Amino acid sequence: MLILPQQLQNDIEQYAQKVQDFTNGIISETEFKVFRVPMGVYEQRKNGTYMVRVRCVAGYITPKLLQVVCDIAEKYGSKLLHITTRQEFQIQNISLENSVHIISELYQYGLTTRGGGGNTVRNIMASVDSGIAKDEIFDVFPYAVNLTNFLISQPSSWALPRKYKISFSNSSKDTGYAIFNDLGFIAKQQDSTQGFAVYVGGSLSSQPMIGELLFNFIPSSDIYTVAEAVKQVFNKYGNRRNKHKARLRFIFYKYGTEQVLNWIRTAYNELKTIETSYLFEPITLSKQTDFDKNIYTDNSDSNFILWKKRYVTQQKQKGYVSFEIPCKYGNFSPSTLRDLAKYFEPYGDDIIRFSMRQTIFVRNIPEIHIYEIISNREKIKITD
């Protein structure tokens, strides 16, 4: 699914060398930071303590892979995994030396920390209920994955003026917060063609801005061209001297909305004349279809009724539901997440998504299994 570029292995080896150089006093902290942060490694408040941020496109991770992550985290001394507002997670409280081992081992399982920080293409988000929502236009998850693979394969995606944040929403409700990202795609259907309304320049940080409408509609095949056009304009006009005024929205503040939109549309039209070899790859995720139908349910249980009302949502797939596992500040211990992932592994691969609310969103669960799951919530650390 996630296609890691061949260059990534060289990047990991180079990072390992920079860690050694920094440890031996050959390079300064400032020089080292240039390599460390784009690899998704951040220093924490306690001196000598670091965390790594792991890319999870649209918050997706299989239960089996999540168990592997928990094992790696514990192996190298981490007792805290943190879900971020960009649907990825951090392995916290590790040593700098162990960050090298963690990054290398994650790579062996198809996971990467590259782009977890720095002036790079960051983790691409999507509506957490994409693919299962009753009111969605279509499932945007495959587009988030395909666009990720397209962008992380390009060297220019790792040397931008500042971070480049992208999100997809599966309906006009904009549950993926597309209008608050540098580039946002909102699912739309025009006649019989699936596509997107496109917004650009959004942000929620200092001097926030709601994204400007770039295109009322583009066919879904044009997402690569749009993302590349925005990136080219960002690269050309972005502020590389002052990081506090380097985000994409500051180009709008400096040059005006119409001028910037015109630059992007011009770049888009020029790129459209160039034949591209990148093709959309469909993505199929597994879920349990042959499940036990003889499971006890007590519909008179008041706690069950309340929990179901609070957290459970009917899916568009008949007989299946999703639910949210709340947590404080997005923090879990590796052992807790491992138990949870192991419990849900029999239900298939498309079960767990990390949400922008820093919670775990469980999906594709047979509705008749909900009572049993809730009854076992202490065992798998699901809170009320």
CA-to-CA separations, 317 to 333, 363, 369, in angstroms, rounded: 32, 11, 15
Burial class, 245, CB count within 10 angstroms (exposed 0-12 / middle 13-18 / buried 19+) = middle
pLDDT in the model for residue 211: 98
Express each pLDDT in 204-255 by its tens digit: 887 889 999 999 999 999 999 999 999 999 999 999 999 999 999 999 999 9
Q: Where in the sequence of the chain do the CATH 3.30.413.10 domains occur?
A: 125-272
- CA pair distance 275, 247, nearest whole angstrom: 30
Q: For all residues of the chain together, what is the average pLDDT?
A: 93
- Please identify which residue in the block is written with the tokens 């025009």: 190
Q: How confident is the model at residue 287 (pLDDT cuts 50, 70, 90)?
A: confident
Whether the Cβ atoms of residue 169 and residue 184 lie closer than 8 Å to each other = yes
CA–CA distances in Å: residue 79 to residues 65, 205, 238, 304, 365: 18, 30, 39, 31, 29
Q: How far is CA 57 from CA 149, 161, 171, 318, in A?
A: 10, 22, 19, 26
Strands 50-54 and 89-94: antiparallel
Strands 331-332 vs 80-83: parallel, antiparallel or unpaired? antiparallel
* Residue indicated by tokens 């879900």: 83
| Comma-separated ranges of CATH 3.90.480.20 domains in the chain | 1-117+321-362+378-382
Residue 379, pLDDT score = 64
Residue 343 has pLDDT above 80, yes or no: yes
pLDDT at residue 281, rounded to an integer: 84
- Band the pLDDT of 297: cuts 50, 70, 90: confident
Confidence of residue 304 (pLDDT cuts 50, 70, 90): confident
Q: How confident is the model at residue 159 (pLDDT cuts 50, 70, 90)?
A: very high
DSSP conformation letters of 182-247: SEEEEEEEETTEEEEEEEES-BSSSS-BPPEEEEEEEEGGGHHHHHHHHHHHHHHHS-SS-GGG-S
User: For 125-272, which CATH superfamily applies?
Assistant: Sulfite Reductase Hemoprotein, domain 1 (3.30.413.10)
- Is 293 a residue whose pLDDT tops 70? no
Indicate the pLDDT class of residue 280, thresholds 50, 70 and 90: confident
Q: What angle do CA 160, 152, 280 make, to 5 degrees?
A: 130
Domain 1-117+321-362+378-382 has CATH 3.90.480.20: yes
- Bridge partners, 187 (sequence order): 196
In sequence order, the β-bridge partners of residue 190 are 193
Confidence band of 294 (pLDDT split at 50, 70, 90): low
- Separation of alpha carbons 359 and 56, rounded Å: 14
List the strands of the sheet with 212-219, edge to edge.
125-126, 166-169, 183-190, 193-200, 212-219
Q: What is the mean pLDDT of residues 315-343?
A: 93
Please say whether the beta carbons of 62 and 2 come within 8 A.
no
Q: Is a pLDDT exceeding 60 seen at residue 309?
A: yes
91-130 tens-digit pLDDT: 999 999 999 999 999 999 999 999 999 999 999 999 999 9
pLDDT above 90 (res 77): yes
Phi, psi of 121 (to 5 degrees): -75, 115
The residue written with tokens 């260059």 in the block is 7
pLDDT of residue 236: 97
pLDDT in tens, 12-40: 999 999 999 999 999 999 999 999 999 99
Residues 322, 328, 331, CA angle at the centre, nearest 5°?
Answer: 90
Our measurement of the distance from residue 161's CA atom to the centroid of its chain's CA atoms, rounded to an integer in Å, reads: 21
Least confident segment among 72-76, 268-272, 309-313: 309-313
N- to C-terminal Cα distance for the chain?
Answer: 34
Q: Is the pLDDT of residue 382 over 70?
A: no
Highest mean pLDDT pick, 5-9, 54-58, 299-303, 366-370: 54-58
Q: Tally the C-alpha atoms within 13 A of residue 187's C-alpha that lie toward its C-beta.
A: 24
State the average pLDDT over residues 144-159.
Answer: 95
Give the pLDDT confidence score for residue 282 in this predicted structure: 83
pLDDT, one tens digit per residue, over 261-270 is 999 999 999 9
- Checking if the pLDDT of 384 tops 60, the result is no
Q: Report pTM.
A: 0.95
Q: Is the pLDDT of residue 275 over 90?
A: no
